[in-house]
Amino acid sequence: MKVGVIMGGVSSEREVSLATGREMLSHLDKNRYEVCPIEIDDKRELISKTEGIDIALLALHGKYGEDGTVQGTLDSLGIPYTGSDVLSSSVCMDKDLSKKLLRCEGLFTADWVVVGSMQELAAADVEGLGFPVVVKPNAGGSSIGTRIVRIQDELASAVEEALQWDRAVMIEQFIDGEEITCPILNGEMLPIVSIKPNSEFFDYTSKYVEGEADEQVIELPPELRKAVNAAAIQCYKALKCSVYARIDIILKDNIPYILEVNTLPGLTRTSLLPRSAEAAGYSFSSLLDAIIEFSLTERKSEKQGVEGYEYNEQLYIADCARYAPIRNSTVF
Protein backbone atom coordinates (compact mmCIF):
# COMPACT_ATOMS: atom_id res chain seq x y z
CA MET A 1 0.00 0.00 0.00
CA LYS A 2 1.39 3.38 -1.03
CA VAL A 3 0.85 5.90 1.78
CA GLY A 4 1.30 9.57 0.97
CA VAL A 5 2.10 11.67 4.04
CA ILE A 6 0.58 15.06 3.22
CA MET A 7 2.31 17.83 5.16
CA GLY A 8 3.25 21.49 5.04
CA GLY A 9 0.38 23.44 3.56
CA VAL A 10 -0.29 27.15 3.45
CA SER A 11 -1.72 27.86 6.91
CA SER A 12 -0.16 29.54 9.93
CA GLU A 13 0.40 26.03 11.33
CA ARG A 14 2.73 24.92 8.54
CA GLU A 15 5.68 24.27 10.86
CA VAL A 16 3.54 22.15 13.18
CA SER A 17 2.33 20.20 10.14
CA LEU A 18 5.89 19.54 9.00
CA ALA A 19 6.79 18.30 12.49
CA THR A 20 3.78 15.98 12.49
CA GLY A 21 4.70 14.73 9.02
CA ARG A 22 8.29 14.01 9.99
CA GLU A 23 7.13 12.05 13.04
CA MET A 24 4.72 10.02 10.91
CA LEU A 25 7.43 9.27 8.35
CA SER A 26 9.80 7.99 11.03
CA HIS A 27 7.20 5.69 12.61
CA LEU A 28 5.32 4.24 9.63
CA ASP A 29 6.09 0.54 9.18
CA LYS A 30 8.29 0.41 6.04
CA ASN A 31 7.70 -3.35 5.80
CA ARG A 32 3.98 -2.74 5.54
CA TYR A 33 3.75 0.47 3.51
CA GLU A 34 5.44 2.19 0.62
CA VAL A 35 5.87 5.59 2.26
CA CYS A 36 5.82 8.73 0.14
CA PRO A 37 6.46 12.17 1.75
CA ILE A 38 4.36 14.86 0.04
CA GLU A 39 5.11 18.43 1.06
CA ILE A 40 2.51 20.95 -0.08
CA ASP A 41 3.66 24.53 -0.75
CA ASP A 42 0.73 25.61 -2.92
CA LYS A 43 -2.92 24.54 -2.94
CA ARG A 44 -2.77 23.39 -6.57
CA GLU A 45 0.05 20.93 -5.83
CA LEU A 46 -2.27 18.53 -4.05
CA ILE A 47 -3.69 17.23 -7.32
CA SER A 48 -0.39 16.50 -9.06
CA LYS A 49 1.58 15.28 -6.03
CA THR A 50 -1.01 12.73 -4.82
CA GLU A 51 -1.25 10.84 -8.09
CA GLY A 52 -0.70 7.12 -7.57
CA ILE A 53 -1.07 6.94 -3.79
CA ASP A 54 -3.51 4.51 -2.15
CA ILE A 55 -4.28 6.69 0.88
CA ALA A 56 -3.43 10.20 2.03
CA LEU A 57 -2.18 10.24 5.62
CA LEU A 58 -3.01 13.83 6.58
CA ALA A 59 -0.42 15.63 8.66
CA LEU A 60 -1.91 19.02 7.76
CA HIS A 61 -3.18 21.53 10.31
CA GLY A 62 -5.21 24.73 10.08
CA LYS A 63 -6.81 26.17 6.96
CA TYR A 64 -6.52 24.12 3.82
CA GLY A 65 -5.86 21.04 5.86
CA GLU A 66 -8.27 20.75 8.75
CA ASP A 67 -11.15 22.76 7.32
CA GLY A 68 -12.57 20.26 4.81
CA THR A 69 -11.04 21.76 1.67
CA VAL A 70 -8.30 19.16 1.27
CA GLN A 71 -10.76 16.42 2.19
CA GLY A 72 -13.13 17.64 -0.53
CA THR A 73 -10.36 17.72 -3.12
CA LEU A 74 -9.25 14.20 -2.25
CA ASP A 75 -12.86 13.00 -2.39
CA SER A 76 -13.12 14.44 -5.90
CA LEU A 77 -9.90 12.67 -6.89
CA GLY A 78 -11.13 9.37 -5.45
CA ILE A 79 -8.23 9.18 -2.98
CA PRO A 80 -9.02 7.88 0.53
CA TYR A 81 -7.70 10.05 3.37
CA THR A 82 -7.34 9.80 7.12
CA GLY A 83 -9.60 11.41 9.69
CA SER A 84 -13.02 13.02 9.56
CA ASP A 85 -14.94 13.81 6.38
CA VAL A 86 -15.54 17.17 4.67
CA LEU A 87 -18.56 18.18 6.76
CA SER A 88 -17.14 17.37 10.17
CA SER A 89 -13.76 18.92 9.34
CA SER A 90 -15.30 22.20 8.22
CA VAL A 91 -17.75 22.42 11.13
CA CYS A 92 -15.10 21.70 13.79
CA MET A 93 -12.74 24.27 12.25
CA ASP A 94 -15.38 26.97 12.77
CA LYS A 95 -15.39 27.49 16.53
CA ASP A 96 -18.50 29.66 16.47
CA LEU A 97 -20.57 27.15 14.52
CA SER A 98 -19.36 24.14 16.49
CA LYS A 99 -20.15 25.85 19.82
CA LYS A 100 -23.66 26.65 18.60
CA LEU A 101 -24.19 22.99 17.74
CA LEU A 102 -22.82 21.89 21.11
CA ARG A 103 -25.20 24.25 22.89
CA CYS A 104 -28.08 22.71 20.91
CA GLU A 105 -26.93 19.32 22.22
CA GLY A 106 -27.13 20.59 25.79
CA LEU A 107 -23.38 20.45 26.32
CA PHE A 108 -21.53 23.04 28.39
CA THR A 109 -19.30 25.54 26.61
CA ALA A 110 -18.21 29.03 27.63
CA ASP A 111 -20.28 32.05 26.54
CA TRP A 112 -18.86 33.96 23.57
CA VAL A 113 -19.31 36.62 20.91
CA VAL A 114 -17.78 36.81 17.43
CA VAL A 115 -16.67 39.99 15.65
CA GLY A 116 -15.33 40.55 12.16
CA SER A 117 -14.00 44.07 12.50
CA MET A 118 -13.13 46.77 15.01
CA GLN A 119 -16.47 48.40 14.22
CA GLU A 120 -18.29 45.21 15.22
CA LEU A 121 -16.19 45.06 18.39
CA ALA A 122 -17.44 48.50 19.39
CA ALA A 123 -21.03 47.21 19.22
CA ALA A 124 -20.37 43.82 20.87
CA ASP A 125 -21.48 43.13 24.44
CA VAL A 126 -18.11 41.95 25.73
CA GLU A 127 -18.77 43.33 29.20
CA GLY A 128 -21.64 40.87 29.43
CA LEU A 129 -19.10 38.05 29.31
CA GLY A 130 -17.08 39.56 32.15
CA PHE A 131 -13.31 39.85 32.23
CA PRO A 132 -11.01 38.08 31.73
CA VAL A 133 -11.86 36.84 28.24
CA VAL A 134 -10.00 34.73 25.69
CA VAL A 135 -9.51 36.34 22.27
CA LYS A 136 -8.68 34.00 19.39
CA PRO A 137 -9.11 33.54 15.65
CA ASN A 138 -12.42 31.79 14.99
CA ALA A 139 -10.85 29.27 12.61
CA GLY A 140 -7.32 29.15 13.98
CA GLY A 141 -5.31 26.51 15.77
CA SER A 142 -2.20 25.89 17.87
CA SER A 143 -3.16 28.98 19.94
CA ILE A 144 -1.68 31.26 17.26
CA GLY A 145 -3.10 34.76 17.68
CA THR A 146 -4.68 33.82 21.02
CA ARG A 147 -4.51 36.00 24.14
CA ILE A 148 -6.12 36.19 27.55
CA VAL A 149 -7.41 39.73 28.08
CA ARG A 150 -7.94 40.73 31.69
CA ILE A 151 -8.99 44.37 31.32
CA GLN A 152 -11.06 46.35 28.82
CA ASP A 153 -8.10 48.52 27.77
CA GLU A 154 -6.25 45.49 26.34
CA LEU A 155 -9.16 44.16 24.30
CA ALA A 156 -8.82 46.21 21.11
CA SER A 157 -5.17 45.35 20.54
CA ALA A 158 -5.87 41.63 21.11
CA VAL A 159 -8.72 41.66 18.60
CA GLU A 160 -6.58 43.55 16.06
CA GLU A 161 -3.87 40.91 16.40
CA ALA A 162 -6.33 38.03 16.01
CA LEU A 163 -7.86 39.68 12.92
CA GLN A 164 -4.46 39.38 11.24
CA TRP A 165 -4.91 35.59 11.32
CA ASP A 166 -8.61 35.27 10.51
CA ARG A 167 -11.51 37.34 9.24
CA ALA A 168 -13.57 36.47 12.34
CA VAL A 169 -12.45 36.63 15.97
CA MET A 170 -14.01 34.85 18.92
CA ILE A 171 -14.13 36.58 22.30
CA GLU A 172 -14.87 33.89 24.84
CA GLN A 173 -15.58 33.89 28.55
CA PHE A 174 -12.50 32.71 30.44
CA ILE A 175 -13.18 29.67 32.60
CA ASP A 176 -10.58 29.22 35.32
CA GLY A 177 -10.37 25.47 35.78
CA GLU A 178 -8.37 22.33 35.07
CA GLU A 179 -7.60 21.73 31.40
CA ILE A 180 -7.81 18.18 30.12
CA THR A 181 -7.95 16.60 26.69
CA CYS A 182 -9.94 13.57 25.62
CA PRO A 183 -8.56 11.71 22.60
CA ILE A 184 -11.05 9.47 20.79
CA LEU A 185 -10.11 6.67 18.39
CA ASN A 186 -12.80 5.04 16.26
CA GLY A 187 -15.50 6.25 18.63
CA GLU A 188 -13.78 4.94 21.77
CA MET A 189 -12.26 7.08 24.49
CA LEU A 190 -8.53 6.81 25.06
CA PRO A 191 -7.02 7.77 28.46
CA ILE A 192 -7.55 11.38 29.54
CA VAL A 193 -4.54 13.69 29.67
CA SER A 194 -4.22 16.55 32.16
CA ILE A 195 -2.52 19.75 30.94
CA LYS A 196 -0.68 22.14 33.24
CA PRO A 197 1.27 24.72 31.19
CA ASN A 198 4.15 26.72 32.64
CA SER A 199 2.77 29.87 30.98
CA GLU A 200 -0.51 31.70 31.49
CA PHE A 201 -2.36 29.24 29.27
CA PHE A 202 -1.67 26.34 26.90
CA ASP A 203 -0.09 28.50 24.20
CA TYR A 204 2.05 27.65 21.16
CA THR A 205 5.25 27.33 23.21
CA SER A 206 3.56 25.14 25.81
CA LYS A 207 2.25 22.85 23.09
CA TYR A 208 5.38 22.35 21.03
CA VAL A 209 8.42 23.00 23.21
CA GLU A 210 9.40 20.06 25.38
CA GLY A 211 9.20 20.73 29.09
CA GLU A 212 6.96 23.81 28.79
CA ALA A 213 3.88 21.97 30.07
CA ASP A 214 3.20 19.14 32.49
CA GLU A 215 1.07 16.65 30.55
CA GLN A 216 0.08 13.52 32.43
CA VAL A 217 -2.36 10.70 31.83
CA ILE A 218 -4.79 10.85 34.74
CA GLU A 219 -7.60 8.82 36.26
CA LEU A 220 -10.55 11.00 37.31
CA PRO A 221 -12.94 10.04 40.13
CA PRO A 222 -15.58 7.60 38.79
CA GLU A 223 -18.53 10.00 38.63
CA LEU A 224 -16.51 12.80 37.08
CA ARG A 225 -14.91 10.40 34.62
CA LYS A 226 -18.35 9.21 33.59
CA ALA A 227 -19.51 12.81 32.98
CA VAL A 228 -16.36 13.71 31.01
CA ASN A 229 -16.55 10.57 28.87
CA ALA A 230 -20.22 11.18 28.13
CA ALA A 231 -19.60 14.82 27.16
CA ALA A 232 -16.61 13.96 24.93
CA ILE A 233 -18.40 11.13 23.10
CA GLN A 234 -21.58 13.20 22.69
CA CYS A 235 -19.48 16.04 21.27
CA TYR A 236 -17.67 13.65 18.88
CA LYS A 237 -20.98 12.29 17.61
CA ALA A 238 -22.79 15.64 17.44
CA LEU A 239 -20.08 17.12 15.23
CA LYS A 240 -20.02 13.91 13.15
CA CYS A 241 -16.35 13.19 13.75
CA SER A 242 -14.92 9.91 12.54
CA VAL A 243 -11.72 7.83 12.88
CA TYR A 244 -10.03 10.04 15.50
CA ALA A 245 -10.25 13.42 17.17
CA ARG A 246 -9.23 15.22 20.33
CA ILE A 247 -11.79 16.99 22.53
CA ASP A 248 -10.31 19.77 24.68
CA ILE A 249 -12.15 20.43 27.93
CA ILE A 250 -11.97 22.70 30.99
CA LEU A 251 -13.18 21.22 34.27
CA LYS A 252 -14.71 23.62 36.77
CA ASP A 253 -16.88 22.62 39.72
CA ASN A 254 -17.00 19.08 38.25
CA ILE A 255 -18.60 20.38 35.06
CA PRO A 256 -16.88 19.61 31.71
CA TYR A 257 -16.87 22.70 29.47
CA ILE A 258 -16.01 21.92 25.84
CA LEU A 259 -13.27 24.21 24.52
CA GLU A 260 -12.91 22.91 20.97
CA VAL A 261 -12.55 19.81 18.82
CA ASN A 262 -9.44 18.93 16.80
CA THR A 263 -10.18 16.61 13.87
CA LEU A 264 -6.49 16.33 12.92
CA PRO A 265 -4.73 16.58 16.29
CA GLY A 266 -0.98 17.00 16.28
CA LEU A 267 1.24 13.92 16.18
CA THR A 268 4.58 15.49 17.01
CA ARG A 269 7.00 14.23 19.68
CA THR A 270 5.32 16.46 22.28
CA SER A 271 1.70 15.93 21.17
CA LEU A 272 -1.08 14.74 23.44
CA LEU A 273 -2.73 12.04 21.33
CA PRO A 274 0.36 9.77 21.10
CA ARG A 275 0.87 10.13 24.87
CA SER A 276 -2.71 9.03 25.52
CA ALA A 277 -2.54 6.22 22.95
CA GLU A 278 0.65 4.90 24.52
CA ALA A 279 -1.15 4.61 27.85
CA ALA A 280 -3.81 2.56 26.04
CA GLY A 281 -1.18 0.18 24.70
CA TYR A 282 -0.53 1.70 21.26
CA SER A 283 2.97 2.31 20.00
CA PHE A 284 3.27 5.30 17.65
CA SER A 285 3.54 2.85 14.75
CA SER A 286 0.45 0.86 15.75
CA LEU A 287 -1.49 4.11 16.29
CA LEU A 288 -0.76 5.08 12.67
CA ASP A 289 -1.78 1.57 11.55
CA ALA A 290 -5.10 1.97 13.37
CA ILE A 291 -5.73 5.45 11.90
CA ILE A 292 -5.07 4.14 8.38
CA GLU A 293 -7.20 1.02 8.88
CA PHE A 294 -10.16 2.86 10.42
CA SER A 295 -9.95 5.59 7.76
CA LEU A 296 -10.06 3.09 4.89
CA THR A 297 -13.12 1.48 6.47
CA GLU A 298 -14.79 4.89 6.92
CA ARG A 299 -14.10 6.04 3.36
CA LYS A 300 -15.40 2.71 2.00
CA SER A 301 -18.57 3.11 4.04
CA GLU A 302 -19.07 6.67 2.75
CA LYS A 303 -18.55 5.53 -0.84
CA GLN A 304 -21.05 2.70 -0.49
CA GLY A 305 -23.57 5.13 0.98
CA VAL A 306 -23.30 7.42 -2.04
CA GLU A 307 -23.28 4.65 -4.63
CA GLY A 308 -26.15 2.88 -2.89
CA TYR A 309 -28.44 5.91 -3.06
CA GLU A 310 -31.34 5.59 -5.45
CA TYR A 311 -33.54 8.52 -6.45
CA ASN A 312 -37.18 7.80 -5.67
CA GLU A 313 -39.54 10.21 -7.39
CA GLN A 314 -42.60 9.22 -5.33
CA LEU A 315 -40.77 9.82 -2.04
CA TYR A 316 -39.50 13.15 -3.35
CA ILE A 317 -43.02 14.29 -4.25
CA ALA A 318 -44.31 13.15 -0.85
CA ASP A 319 -41.56 15.08 0.95
CA CYS A 320 -42.30 18.21 -1.08
CA ALA A 321 -45.96 18.02 -0.06
CA ARG A 322 -45.05 17.34 3.55
CA TYR A 323 -42.71 20.33 3.94
CA ALA A 324 -44.57 22.82 1.76
CA PRO A 325 -46.50 24.34 4.72
CA ILE A 326 -43.21 24.93 6.56
CA ARG A 327 -41.53 26.58 3.56
CA ASN A 328 -44.54 28.80 2.99
CA SER A 329 -44.90 29.86 6.63
CA THR A 330 -44.12 33.36 7.87
CA VAL A 331 -41.21 31.98 9.94
CA PHE A 332 -39.06 32.16 6.83
Q: Which residues are known binding-site members for Mg(2+)? A: 248, 260, 262
Burial 63-78 (b: 16+ CB within 10 A, else e): bbbbbbbbbebbbeee
Angle, in degrees to the nearest 10, between helices 284-307 and 14-27:
100
Which member of 142, 143, 206, 276 is catalytic? 142
Q: Per the residue annotation, which of 11, 12, 13, 215 is the catalytic one?
A: 13
Q: Is there a contact between 34 and 1 (Cβ–Cβ < 8 Å)?
A: yes
Catalytic residue among 12, 98, 271, 295: 271
Mark the binding-site residues, compressed into ranges.
248, 260, 262
Active-site residue flag, 301: no
Q: Is 142 a catalytic residue?
A: yes
Residues designated as active site: 13, 142, 271
